[in-house]
Every structure is written in structure tokens, then in C-alpha cells.
Structure 1
């Protein structure tokens, strides 16, 4: 029986709260906190069991610490913005609480996707006897665990990794983002980096494109190579990797809109002066776009996210593909959300469950692939993200 404080009441926060509420034997008490308590109350009203809500500014360490000292949770599940990771980690240290998040820290003023700021907390968490689990979403998160699972069960050594994230969903808008628009656009417009021969190689954003056919009739999609933070931790923790790449699907309409918005300066992260006020263009754009948490009822289609690993087993090369397919409408029926929030929120709940059950508990700061993947993979099958693994004869995205 454990108590959790969930910080963040966006699309993912809603899914995490729903999924935790479904397991009262693990999550006996839930507190959902956000800058806007009204959002927390709206999520609470959807649930079949009572939870507590609270107002908190996740940028304010003192305010966060006060909340944690009052509530005395066993774990904080951080599904706020990546800019707030460090303040929440500081508050967890001050209040003596374990920590979990789904995305790495990003400074507000530069689109940097790096773990160095959070890895720097290793000694602090170790000395405090607290566990911090980083990146327990889908990518990063489940894809890291997929890689660890494949490495453990199928290979003696892994050499190549391709993480492929396809969203075959359609929400009917000419342009909208499936998660926080500010984070989404910063991610997509950042320079691409992939791992090759013991180094990260930098190429222009969206400059490498391939075609990928998903299994189970999900369809064929254009995927683009981009940088994603799990490449940094996976190449560190699997040093035999010679190449590692991340790919994501984008429709032509999304890319055309993004190009035009970029050309007119609407994706900028530097403040500009407008009528005597400082505004950040991308934050203004966010206010104009549909809220991702409202896309659930109108999004049709499926996601297909997985990893392809090449490596050696008993001297022979082999290729293994492990993936999950999720239907947007199934997610909406269960937790009033589209599949992008669902596929992030479920692994956050499972990571929290692993920690609370003592299966993943070790003082310090850890990426998700550093723990035993087996119990996590078992729970993905149980709690809404069933996966399949197939061996491939060949695989090539270089064409």
C-alpha cells in the first residue's frame, strides 16, 4: 500500500492518474497536483475512486517541498514539463521522496536534450538513500526496456539499434501536435544526431527519410531520422552498439505547416517584444493550437512503436524486432485519451509500480534500461500495451 503524488495534469498526467487509480492494491493513495487545480479536479471527476487534488507551482522548490512534506508520499511521478525536472528532483531530495519522470530535463532557453543535468544528481540521491528513475515513458522508456529485453534474451552482443515511432492516427486538424506543442516542435526542429562508430554524428533536422511498413496492416509511412534522448543513455549502457538511430513518422501536412511556421518565426524560443510585452513565439503558437488533451475523441488509427536490433548470437548475425501497436480509440474508451498520451502514461505507471514493489529500487539516479526488463515487460502485457517480438531475415532503412 503506497501513496504517490503525480505532478502534471495534461494528457499524460490524466492517463497516469487513471492507470494508478485502477490498481488500488499498489497505489492506495493518489494526490494529483498541478499549477491549475481545476485540471486536476476534471481528471478526478472521471475516476471511479476518490483521489486528492492540490495546486502547486512546479517551478518553485519551496512550494513543492511543502506539498511533499505535508503529503508524505512514497514516490513522486513527474509528468509536468521537462523544464521542471530539476526543481522537482530538488524538492524530492529536500522532502526525502523517490522520483520518477518520463522525459529528460531541458533548459528553457535552448533546445538541448541531454541527461547530464540529471545524471549530476547521482551522488545526492545515493547519499539520501533515494531512487530516481529517468525516462519511464514510451520513448524514452518502453523502447529502452525493449532494447534491454532483446539484449538480455536474444543476443550475446548488440551492434545496431533503430527505434521506430509511427503514429498512424488522424485527428482531422490541418495542424496539431499530439503532445505539448512547445516540446514537440522544439524536438522536431532540433538538429539530428545519431550514433555511429563511437560518436554522435550531427546532420540537419529531418534530412534523412525512409519508408517503413508497419506489421499487422497498420500501413506504410514516411519516417524521418531525428535525435531523441534515449540514444544518449542507450549508447552509454550498451557500449557494443556501433550504430543507433531514432525515427519518427510525419505526414506531409504536418511538415508543410511546420516549415511555414518556422519560416515566419513562429517556432522561435527567443523572447520578442510585442506591444510592450515580452512574448516567446512558440509559446504564443501553443496558445493558438488545439490542446493535445482534447484530441482523444477525434483521433482515429493506430500507433506502432518498436525497436529493431541487429547483433550476434553464438557467432551468427540475427535481427529482432519488438513492437507495440495501440489503437487511439481503444485508449479513448478506457481513459479518455489518445494513444500518444496513453503510450507514455502507462509505462510511467508501470515504472512507479516497479519502484513501489521494490523490484526497481536502488539509491541513485538511473535510466530505465539499467534495471531488469522482465517484470516491466510482463506488466506491459497486463496493463494495456501488449508487445510482440519477431525475428527478421533482413532490415535496411538506408535506401
Structure 2
């Protein structure tokens, strides 16, 4: 029985809170904190008062430390913005609390998507006897665990990895993002990098396209190669990988809107002056778009996210695909959220459970694939994200 603090009350924060509240035998006390406490109170109301709430500025280390020392949780689940990872890690170190997040730190002024800043905390967390678990969402997160599971159970060596994230959902808006608009648009417009023969190869954003047919009747979608941070840690922790790529589905409509917004400067991250005020265009755009947390009731369709791994077992080449399919409406019925937030929030709850149960508790800073994948995947089956494994005769995403 453990007390935890969840920081961040957006779409993912709501799912994490709901899922933790479903397991009082593990999460005996839950505090949900955010800069806007009204968002926390709305989630608390959904849960019939099973949790407590607090107001905190995650950019303010002394304020965070004061709250942590007052509440003394065993673990902080950070589902705030990636810009706040380091301040929350600093506060956890000062207050003596274990830490976990779902996305790597990103500086406000540049779209970097690197783990270097957080990996630099390794010695601090190790000396403090504290665990920091990085990237326990779906991608990064479950996809890293999928890779580790396949490497452990199906291969002697893994050589090629394709992470494929398909969202077959429709929310009915002309243009909206399924998670934080600022982070989503920065990801999509950033240069692509993929791992090949020992180095990262850079190509223009969205310049490689393929068609992918999902299993179980989910459908056929256009997917685009882009950079995602799990490639950095997976290429480091699985040195036999010769190639690793990340793919995501986008509709023509989404891409056309994004192209026009980019052309008129609305996706820019540099401040501009307007009426004597400094305004960041992408932050203004994020305020104009629908809140991702509001998409749940109107999103229909399914997600299909998984990993295709090619490698060697007993001297023979084989190809294995491990994936999860989730229905948006099922997620809404359970936790009042669409599947994008659900598929991120459930692995966050499971990662926290792994730490609190001692299965993944080890002083230092760790990516999720560095731990035993088996108990995590057992819990994915138990708590709403069942997965399948199939062997493929052939696989090729080259046009």
C-alpha cells in the first residue's frame, strides 16, 4: 500500500488517476496536482472523491519540494509537460522521492527529443538511493517493453525494428491533435532520424511514406517515418540493431492543415511580438485547438500500435509482430478518455506499480526496456491493453 503523487491533469493525467484509483491495494492514497487545481478537482469528482488534489507550479522547484515534503509520497508520476521533467526530477531528489515519467525532457526553445539531460542524473539518483523510470507511456514505453520481450523470448539477436503507431480514430473535427497540441506538432514537424548501421540518419520531416494494413480488421493506413525518442534508448540498449525506424499514421486532411499552418508561421516556437506582448505561435495555436481531453466522447475507431522485429533465432531469420489494438469508445466508457490518452496512461500506472511492488526498483535513471518485460506485459493484459504476437512470413515498408 503506497501513497503517490500524480503531477499533470490533462488527458493522460486523468487516465493515470482513474487506473491507479482502480487498484487501492497498490495505490492506497493518491494526490493529483497541477498548476490548475480546477482540472484536478474535475477528475476527483469523476472518481467520487477517492483522491485528493493540490495546486503546484511544476516549474518551481522550491514549491514542488515543499509539497512533496508535506505529503511524503513514495513516488511521483510525472504526466505534466516534457519541459518540466528536470524541475520535477530536481524536486524528487531534494525530497527523497522516486520518479517516473512518460516522455523525455525537451527544452522549450528547441525540439530536441533527447534523453541526454535525464541520463545525466544517473549518479545523483543512484547516490540518493532513488529510482527514476523514464518513458513509461506507450511510445515510448510499451513499445520499448515489446522490443525487450521479443528480444528475450523470440530471438538470439534482433537486427531490424519498426515501431508502427496507427490511430484509426475519427473525432469529427476538421483539425485537432490527440495529445498536447504543442508537443504533437513539434514532433511531426521535426526532422526525421532513424538508426542505421551504427548511426542516426537524418531526412526531411515526413519524407518517407508507406502503406500498412493493421491486423484484425482495423484497416489500411498511410504511415510516415518520423523520429521518436525511444529510438535513442533502444539503439543504445540493443547493440545488435542494424536498423530501427518509427512510423505513425496521418490522414491527408491532417497533413494539409499542418502544411498550411506551417506556411503561415503558426507552428513556430520562437516568440513574436504582438501588441507589445511576446507570443509563441504554436502556444497560441494550441489554445485555439480542441482540448485533447475533450475528444473522448466523440472519437470512434481503434488504435493499433506495435513492433515488428526481424532477427535471428537458432541461425534462422524470423520476423515477429507484437501489437495492441484498442477501441476509443471502450476507453471512454471505462475512464472518460479517448484511446490515445488511455494507451499512454495505462502503461504509466503499470510502470508505477512495478516500482512500488519492487519489481523495477533500482537506484539510478533507467529506460523502461532495461527491466524485465514479463511482469509489465502480464499487467498490460490484466489492466486494459491486451497484446498479441504473430510471426510474419514477410515484411517490407519500402515503397
TM more than 0.5: yes
Corresponding residue number in structure 2 for 1:185: 185
- Distance (whole Å) between structure 2 residues aligned to residue 288 and residue 134 of structure 1: 31
Shift of 1:50: 1.7
Mapping of residues 26-175 of structure 1, within 5 Å: 26-48=26-48, 50-175=50-175
**What RMSD, in angstroms, separates the aligned Cα atoms of the two structures?**
0.4
Corresponding residue number in structure 2 for 1:194: 194
- Distance (whole Å) between structure 2 residues aligned to residue 72 and residue 360 of structure 1: 20
Corresponding residue number in structure 2 for 1:218: 218
Corresponding residue number in structure 2 for 1:352: 352
Question: Could you give the per-residue CA deviations for residues 61-86 of structure 1, whole angstroms, max 9, x where no partner exists?
Answer: 00000010000000000000000000
Classify the secondary structure of the residue corresponding to 2:108. coil
- Kept in 2, the 8 Å contact 1:85–1:105? The answer is yes
Classify the secondary structure of the residue corresponding to 2:248. strand
Corresponding residue number in structure 1 for 2:21: 21
Mapping of residues 319-330 of structure 1, within 5 Å: 319-330=319-330
Shift of 1:49: 5.2
1:393 is aligned to 2:393? yes
- Distance (whole Å) between structure 2 residues aligned to residue 91 and residue 252 of structure 1: 43
Mapping of residues 332-371 of structure 1, within 5 Å: 332-371=332-371
Classify the secondary structure of the residue corresponding to 1:45. helix
Classify the secondary structure of the residue corresponding to 2:28. strand
Question: Could you give the per-residue CA deviations for residues 349-388 of structure 1, whole angstroms, max 9, x where no partner exists?
Answer: 0000000000001000000000000000000000000000
- Distance (whole Å) between structure 1 residues aligned to residue 261 and residue 355 of structure 2: 42
- Kept in 2, the 8 Å contact 1:321–1:390? The answer is yes
Shift of 1:48: 4.3
Classify the secondary structure of the residue corresponding to 2:46. coil
- Kept in 2, the 8 Å contact 1:185–1:267? The answer is yes
Q: Runs (4+) of structure 1 moved beyond 4 Å?
A: none
Shift of 1:20: 0.1
- Distance (whole Å) between structure 2 residues aligned to residue 225 and residue 168 of structure 1: 17
* Equivalent residues, number: 399
TM-score by length of 1: 1.00
- Distance (whole Å) between structure 2 residues aligned to residue 166 and residue 64 of structure 1: 37
Question: Could you give the per-residue CA deviations for residues 169-194 of structure 1, whole angstroms, max 9, x where no partner exists?
Answer: 00000100000000000000000000
Classify the secondary structure of the residue corresponding to 2:88. helix
Shift of 1:398: 0.7
TM-score by length of 2: 1.00
Classify the secondary structure of the residue corresponding to 1:319. strand
- Which stretch shows the higher mean deviation, 49-58 or 104-113? 49-58
Corresponding residue number in structure 1 for 2:238: 238
